[in-house]
Structure 1
C-alpha cells in the first residue's frame, strides 16, 4: 500500500475530507433562532443568562407517544443557587441547588495537559461560552399546580460530599417542598467507586388533598463550544476540529442517530417515543448521556433557545405519573458523564459504545480497536501496540501485497522495452497503447495488478485511522524517548523525516512505466509535502504510516530481489 500512486490517492482523499470538515466548522455554524420568550444576555463575570433560562417542558397526562411538549414560560429568571461539591475517585461534580442541576463535572483521570492532574478535563461547565449542563425535573399536568422543575430551588443537607475509602457508594439528596400543595420532591444522586455513572431518582411524596399528575424529564443543554485557534495545517490535522460535536440518541428500532448543531432547526427530533434508549451530547473523546429506565416509554425532543449563546437541548420525558394523596412515586434514571471507553460502554447501556463514532467503517474499526487493546495489554505501551498492529495487518494482507509487488517488479523489468516503444511510435498514442498491451499480454502482466490489492486495503487504512483518532485510550499516551504524547505532533519531526526517507526509497523501487511527466514530478514532490503535512499530525498516526511504509518497503525490496535473482539464473 506504500507505492506512490496508492499514497497519492489516499492522501488526496484524506486531505480533501479534512479540509471539507474544517470548512464546515468555520463557515457552517448554525444561526441563532428567535423564540417567543426572550432570554437576557449573560450576567457579568461569565455567568450564563439564566442557568434555568430554557423553558420548562409541559407535562403530558396521557402516554408519551401522544405527547406534544410545547414550552411554557419559566418563572425563575437567571438567579443561581448554591453549589454543592460531590466527588468519587474519578469524578468531581458541582450540583446547583437551583434545580439540583449538575453544572460542572471534572474528569479526574484525564488532565487537560499531559500529567497535569491538577487541571483535569471539565466536561460539564456553567461558564457562558462553554455552557453544558445536565438538568432534570418534574412538569405538572395542570398549569396551576406546582412541580419541582430544573428552575426551582432545592435544599441541600451538606455543602460537600466525598466518597470515603470504606464506602461502596455515596448518596447525595436534595429536597424541594411546596407547603401549599403538600408536595415534596426528594432528588437523590448516587455515585459509586470508579464509575462515571450517576444513578438518580426523584421521589415524589404527596401530602396534599388532591392527586398530582405530571411527568419526569431529563435534558442535556449546551452551547456550541468555541473553536480552537490554530493555523491552517494544524486545523485540518487536529482531530478535535473535525470530530463530531452535537446531540445523539439511540433506540432499538432506529439504532444510533446523530444531530449536528446546524441541523437542530432543519431536522429536529420531535416527540419520538422510545423504549430502551438514551440521549446524549457528544464531543471528541468525552460525552454526557441520560439513560432512562429501559422498561419505560420515553419521549425524545430537541430544541434551541435563543440568546447571546444559543442553547441546544435534547430531552427525554418519562411516562405520565399519578400520585394520589398520601402516596409516594419514584422516577429513576442514570446519568453518564465521562470518556468514550469502548470496552465498557455497552455494559452501561445497549448501543452506548456507538458514541465512539467511527462512521461507515465501524464494522471494521471496532474489531481493529479490540485487537489494538489486546496488544496494549500485552505490551503496556500504545506505541508498541500500534507497531504490532501494523505488522499483524501486513501479515493478513501478505498475499495481496506480494501479488502487488510482484506485478510492480515485473513492470520495472519492462521499463527499457516500453521506453523503446515510446521512441519508436513517438506521439502516436493509439499505436503506443496497442503495442504496450501486446507486450503486457506476451509477458503475462496485468497492468492493474499493482492497484487492485491496494484498493482492498484502503478501507482498512481509513478504519484504523478513525480508531487512532477517536480512541480516548490513546489520548496523551506516551511512546518512548522523545515521543511522550501520541495524540500530539512529533516535537522533533523525526517520524515525518523517516517517513519521507521511506517514500523516497519506495519511489526508487517503483516502476514509472507509462507515467505522465507531470505525475512523475508530483511523485518526486510527495515526500516533501508529506513531511510538512505529517509535522502537524498526531504522532500515533504518523507512527502507523511510517511503520507501514517501512514494512512495505522491506517486502517490496525482498520480492524485487527474488525476481531479479530468478531472471539471472
Structure 2
C-alpha cells in the first residue's frame, strides 16, 4: 500500500465520519416525552431521613412557574415570579436575577453569544418558554410548612440591586423564611469576584418548643435548547446536551434528554458528588458538601403549553434541629463556562468531566491529553492558533523516525519508478506476475511499500480528536489566530486556508510516486486536492490550520528526502 492509496482510505473515512455524525445528530433530537405514570411518580421524591410515617415530598418542577408556549393559554396554577421578591446581582462575570428559591436568569458577561464585540452576552439561565433553564432549591418537612423554590423566602432588607465592586472579593445576598412554629431559615447567596461558583448557605434556627426535621432539595429544570444554526459543520449539534452527575461510587455518568424515561429511574444514593445540566460550552451544576448524604433522581414532564421539561434533582441532607438549637448546610451552584482550570480550582472530584469531549472513553482520554498539551503551548505562545501549529511540530518531532523511513522509502520508489513501469509493460495484463516482480524489486532494493501507511494512520485519530477539542473546549470558543482568522472554531470566512490546502496537496502529489497505478486511480488522485479543499472549506479554521501545517511540514520533509535519495532515476 503506498501513500496514494492511504489518502484514498483517509478520504473515505472522513466521508463516513461526516455521515455518522449527521446520523447521530438526527437521533439525538429529543422528542416531547409522553408523561407516563412512572414518569409522574418520578417527579416527586420521598425525603431521605424522614420518618416512615412522613409523606413529605419535593414539589415537582412542572408545578413551578414554567412559562407556557407562545400563544398557549396560561393556567392559573402557573404564576410569574413576584418582582417584589426578586433581586439582581451583578459581578464582573455574572448578572443574575433570583429570588430565595429560584435563579431565574443568568447572563455570562465575559462570553458574547456571537463573535462580534457588540454581541449580547450568553444567557445560560432563562425563563422564556423555548429556552427555559432554572436552578431551584427549597425544603421539605413532616413538621409543617417549609420554604420551597416556589414561595416562602423573601429578601432580607429593602435592597434589590447588588453590585460587586471592583475592590471587593465577594458579596452576600440574604433571604429569610419564618415559620409559624418558630423555625427560621436564613438563606445567603455568596457571589465571588471572577467566580462562577455561587455558595448557597442555609442556616436553620429553631426558636420553637418542638424538634424540627427537614431535608433540603436542589434541582435543575430546563427545556432542551434549540440549535441556533443548522448544517453538517455546526459544532453545537454534536456536543452532548442532557443531564450529568458524579458520585464517588459510580463516577461520571450522563443521560440524554430523550433517554430520561427509557433508561429507567436513577434514584442514586450518594455522598457528595454533583448534578448538572450540560450544553455546548456551558453548564449549571449543584455541588453539595463533600460529606452530605443525598439521593439523585431524574424526572420529565410536559408543561401546560405542551413543552417538554427535564429535571435532575438532589434531595438531602436531612437535618434535625432541637428547640433552641441551630444547624447549617451549604452547597455550591456552578453557573458558567466549562473552564477546566476554574473547575479544578473548586477541588470537586470529577467536575472537570463536564467537558465532555466524547462518549467514547478512548477518544475522551486522547482529547484530554491533546487539550492539556494545547493548554501548555497556549501558556507559552498566548495564542491558540500558534498553539495548534506548535502541537503539529511536537507530533512531527515525536514521529520523525517513522516519517523519515516513510519518505526515504517513497524517494527510493520514485527513483525506481522507471523500472517499475518497464515491469508493467513487460507483464501487460498479468497483474499477478507484475505484483510478484515488483515485490521482488522492492525486496532487492530494500524498499518498504507500506512505509507510508503508519504515520498517516497515526495522524487520523489525532485529527479527529482535535476536531472534538475544537468543538467542545470553551477556551477556544471565538479564539482568533491572526489577520482574517477571528474564530478558530468557525470556518475560514474567505476560504484562504482551504485553498492553501489544495496547493499543498497538489505539490505533495507531484512528489509522490505512483508505481503500478492504473489510469482510473490516477484520475481519482488528481481530484483529491479539490475534494479535500471543498470538504475543508466547511471545517473549523483551527482544524484546517492543523492539517495544512502537518501537510506542509510533511511536504518539506518529503522534498528533502526525495532530493537526497532520488537524485537520478534508476536505469531500466
* TM-score, normalisation: structure 1: 0.88
Note closer, same or farther for the CA distance 1:514–1:136 as it changes in structure 2 (3 Å cut).
farther
Verify the 8 A CA contact 1:100 1:174 in the aligned structure 2. no
Matched, 1:304 2:300: yes
Change (3 A) 1:74 1:263: closer
User: Equivalents in 2 of 1:325, 1:119: separation in Å?
Assistant: 51
In structure 1, C-alpha distance between the alignment counterparts of 2:399 and 2:276, rounded to whole Å:
38
Unaligned runs of 5+ residues in structure 2 are 66-76
Change (3 A) 1:31 1:544: same
Aligned partner of residue 506 in structure 1, secondary structure? helix
Q: How does 1:88-237 map to 2 (within 5 A)?
A: 88-95=91-98, 97=99, 100-116=101-117, 119-140=120-141, 142=142, 145-156=144-155, 157=157, 158-179=159-180, 181-230=181-230, 235-237=231-233
Name 2:317's counterpart in structure 1.
319
Using a 3 Å threshold, how does the CA distance of structure 1 residues 191 and 294 change in structure 2: closer, same or farther?
same
Deviation, structure 1 residue 74: 5.0
Verify the 8 A CA contact 2:103 2:136 in the aligned structure 1: yes
2:470 maps to 468
The verdict on how the C-alpha distance between 1:86 and 1:551 changes in structure 2, with shifts beyond 3 A counting, is same
- For residues 103 and 75 of structure 1, what CA distance do their matches in structure 2 show? 12
SS of corresponding position for 2:178: strand
Secondary structure in structure 2 of the residue aligned to 1:237:
coil
The offset of 1:321, in angstroms, is: 1.9
Report whether the alignment pairs 1:450 with 2:452. yes
Higher alpha-carbon deviation: 400-409 or 433-442: 433-442
CA shift at 1:75, angstroms?
Answer: 8.2
Closer, same or farther: CA 75–338 of 1 in aligned 2, 3 Å: closer
For the residue of structure 2 that corresponds to 1:565, the secondary structure is coil
Distance 2:315 2:19 in 1: 39
Aligned residue for 1:513, secondary structure, equals: coil
Q: Name the counterpart of 1:524.
A: 526
Corresponding residue SS for 1:547? helix
SS of the equivalent of 1:495 reads helix
C-alpha contact (below 8 Å) 1:63/1:319 kept by paired residues: no
Output the CA distance in 1 between the equivalents of 2:365 and 2:36: 45
Q: Is residue 409–residue 559 contact of structure 1 (8 Å, CA) maintained in 2?
A: yes
Please give the secondary structure, in 2, of the residue aligned with 1:409: helix
Listed as ranges, the matches of 1:363-512 within 5 Å are 363-512=365-514
Using a 3 Å threshold, how does the CA distance of structure 1 residues 70 and 110 change in structure 2: closer, same or farther? closer
Shift of 1:134: 1.0
2:217–2:315 Cα contact (<8 Å) kept: yes
CA deviations on 1:446-473 (whole Å, 9 max, x unpaired) are 2222112332333333333322332212
CA distance in 2, matches of 1:316, 1:190: 20
Secondary structure (helix, strand or coil) at the match of 1:366 reads helix
Q: Give distance in 2, aligned partners of 1:376 and 1:448.
A: 36
Aligned 8 A contact 1:301 1:316 in 2? yes
Report the counterpart of residue 74 of structure 2 in structure 1: none
Aligned residue among 206, 224, 243 for 1:247? 243
The answer to whether the aligner puts 1:58 opposite 2:56 as a matched pair is: no
| Contact map agreement 1:69 1:271 (CA 8 A) in 2 | no
User: Structure 1, residues 29-84: CA drift from partner, whole Å, max 9, x if none?
Assistant: 33333337999xxxxxxxxxxxxxx95543223599xx997877958831122232
Aligned match of 1:548: 550
TM-score by length of 2: 0.87
Q: Per-residue deviation at 1:117? A: 5.2
Q: Name the count of aligned residue pairs.
A: 543
The answer to whether 1:336 aligns with 2:334 is yes
Given that residues 252 and 277 in structure 1 are in contact (C-alpha distance below 8 angstroms), is that contact kept between their aligned partners in structure 2? yes
Q: CA deviation at 1:517?
A: 4.4
Alpha-carbon distance in structure 1 between the residues aligned to 2:353 and 2:56: 29
Q: Distance in 2 between matches of 1:24 and 1:568?
A: 52
Kindly state the Cα deviation for residue 554 of structure 1 after the two structures are TM-superposed: 0.7
**Consecutive unaligned residues in structure 1, runs of 5 or more:** 40-53
Distance 1:206 1:260 in 2: 42
- Residue equivalent to 1:49: none
Per the alignment, residue 277 of structure 2 pairs with 281
Change (3 A) 1:93 1:282: same
Aligned-partner SS, 1:94: strand
